[in-house]
Structure 1
Amino acid sequence: MRVSFVELFIHCKKVFRARGIPYGCADDGAGVVTWSEFIGLDGLHVLQQEIPNMHPPGMESVALLVEDSGLFRFDGYKQSAIILGKLMADYALAMAETRETVRVHMQNTTRSHLLAQPAHYIASRNKGCLINYKTKHGSPMWILSTPEIAYPIFAEGTRAEEIMQHNLTAELGQYETTNLSSDDFWLVCTTETNLITSCIRNLRHEARLGAFYLTESAKLKATFEKNYNNGLEIDDHIWKQLDQIGSQTLVEATEESRLRGAGEMAP
């Protein structure tokens, strides 16, 4: 079946609400999944995998553990990074109002390529963004985004890690990600976008030499525009599975609810 961006967003939002995620975070999570699906990053597949990690107590217990020289360390208490990525992007942008660079380390969470959406979001606010995590196979993954490129780029592997560490400055967190576990992610929000642009330039140079594969901004942009203009083809089975979960947010009407009415004007 083929769906529009808005149709998929509404469908996904019902899933987050069914899991007890607050309205604002449910909007954010649905936005992350929908955007990721439309640019070809399998947002629905990741959503299916991470549904067990979505729980209201996790939202309430996300905590700032320590702040040290612009580095903010959080514990996600096993909440899904689909939600926490956007939450940390908003936090970093707020902190960046009073400093050039903000670094966020989130532990005890999930991680996936859907973290590209928070990076894209930060770049849309005229800041540069780096996100680093380890894949399920233990390979280092870097997501880079700046206002100058339409969509983020992805660089994975040992050689990409070497290039990034060589090009990062202390302010951008050089070597801070060395001991990342598979349950962490690390995010940088900075006004020093030229430093990230320099990293992208060096990554592209090495990728052309065959050192590793680089997922380019242009590829994601072309995929998004095609799907947005023509509608996105998705699997009927996945749609129905998510529909079953999302339908749990619907409350059967009672005689009392009919008499009282609904919405914010109801007594």
Structure 2
Amino acid sequence: MKKDTSVKRWLKNNYFIILGVIGTIYFIVVTFLFIQAYYDSLNLSSLIDTKAFAEYGSHLAGIGAILAFFFAFATFLKVESANRKKDFETTFFNMLTHFDSIIAQIKVTKENRIEHLNPKNNFEKEYAGRSALNVLLADYLAFARELINIDELGDDDLETEELRIPYRWRQVYNHNLESLPHYFRYYYTLVKFIMTSDKRIDRSLYANLLQAKMSSSEMGLIFYNTFYNSKISQQRGAKEFQTWLNDPDINLFENIDAKSVLSTADLKAKCPKIKFKFEQNK
């Protein structure tokens, strides 16, 4: 698949050279056939045979007109492609800038956290930006690993760890409704913008730029919200988004840290096509 993509990319970037080679070959072939046709009777009269040269010139003029049309059309396509790429990049980088502003506005205080998680945590401290997202993931992982407490004993949904994961994610999510839903929606919009762009856009390049801005904690939060939030899974485009996260050609999740999830086996089961770097660095 990657080989086919590279061939198409080469053809797209070198069509002017291809047209030039075709024109040169045609010129050589027509010249050869012309000489071959008049070789047997090559004499002074044939050399100045204006009719023969007129036919030869007509052939060259015809192919010249055809090549001129294709050169003009190729130039138009190249300019249009350059403009489309420029428009895409302008929008994409503006979206990245806005995404940074959304992250900067995220705040986590005592009111946003599950206090009984870890008494050693400083619940009086306020966190903002990516530090806030790091704290939220750490809180969730600790919360999800907890055994059933007294208040939860009567809840049949918590009999197994598999059932506790989505239940406790919803609690963390509901404690941060002013920030997390907006964050996740905008990330989804960014990924959708990349994946639904013109096929001539190098999607993997821009996916890598997006991934470079993401911390491993953010990837962990996105993983649990995507696969364990029942409200999200019922929304339009949820399955498509899960497919994008599992796309081996853009690898949005390849840099996630093993410590950012409860179980790497679960992560690999949800995204079986991704070659995670934490596996490659073993």
Give the TM-score category using the shorter length: under 0.3
Larger relative contact order (C-alpha < 8 A, sep ≥ 6)? 1
Bigger strand share: 1
TM-score by length of 2: 0.26
Bigger helix share: 2
Name the larger-Rg structure.
2
TM-score by length of 1: 0.28
